[in-house]
Structure 1
Amino acid sequence: MITIIGYGEKLRELRLEKNLTMDDAAKIVSVARSTYAGYESEFRQPSLEKMTLFAHYYNVSVDYILCLTDQRERKDRNEGFNTKNLLTGELHWDGVPLNEEELKHITEFLKAIEERSKKNQTGKKFG
């Protein structure tokens, strides 16, 4: 017989690994303890935003929490597209390599996005 663990059990396992109470876990995503308890019992379904906050806090993927994968590690969102690619000129668009000037503009654009993102995250709760 195959036992399938649902997202509620995953949330419980992750919470206990960090030695957190239900109150602590509820505070991570700014919900009442009773709401969080509903997540663990699967009486309630957390929103995608709440799942993402849990995944970030526990450093796992949402897919892991939802039991879609056994791999706990989150893949870097920038995997395959990072500063190293920009600096070494390995980046291309649809098979056409980008020149230094194009890479400079892309870098400036990404830095602006990063700054805006940092400003927008002020006040968000991760634990």
Structure 2
Amino acid sequence: MNYAERMRNLRQDNDLSQKKVADMLGVAQTTYSQYELEKRPMPIDYLIALCKFYNVSADYMLGLSNRKNP
């Protein structure tokens, strides 16, 4: 599973809309949608923010591990 799939799954598991997560990151919903669809690379600072928001490790978010927390 890649990071875009993990992002989408975490968002859906937490019953959040793309708009809600985009607002938290300070980006437009369309921009966030492009991150989930892998049409635009996600900046590392947004990856870090999402890891903190969802309380998961970067390894989990990137698909390098199936353990959410180290």
Deviation of the 1:6 alpha carbon: 1.4
Partner of 1:64: 60
- The higher relative CO (CA closer than 8 Å, separation ≥ 6) is in 2
1:19 to 10, 15, 19: 15
Deviation of the 1:20 alpha carbon: 0.3
- Cα RMSD after superposing both structures: 0.9
CA offsets 1:64-114 (integer angstroms, 9 cap, x no match): 1110111101x4xxxxxxxxxxxxxxxxxxxxxxxxxxxxxxxxxxxxxxx
- For structure 2, which runs of at least 5 residues remain unmatched after alignment? none
- For structure 1, which runs of at least 5 residues remain unmatched after alignment? 76-127
How many residues in Structure 1 have an aligned counterpart in Structure 2? 70
Residue 33 of structure 2 is aligned to residue 37 of structure 1: yes
Residue 59 of structure 2 is aligned to residue 50 of structure 1: no
Deviation of the 1:21 alpha carbon: 0.4
Q: Any runs of at least 4 consecutive aligned residues in structure 1 with deviations exceeding 2 A, and if so which?
A: none
What fraction of aligned residue pairs are identical, expressed as a percent?
Answer: 33
* TM-score scaled by length of structure 1: 0.53
Instruction: Name whichever structure is richer in helix by fraction.
Output: 2
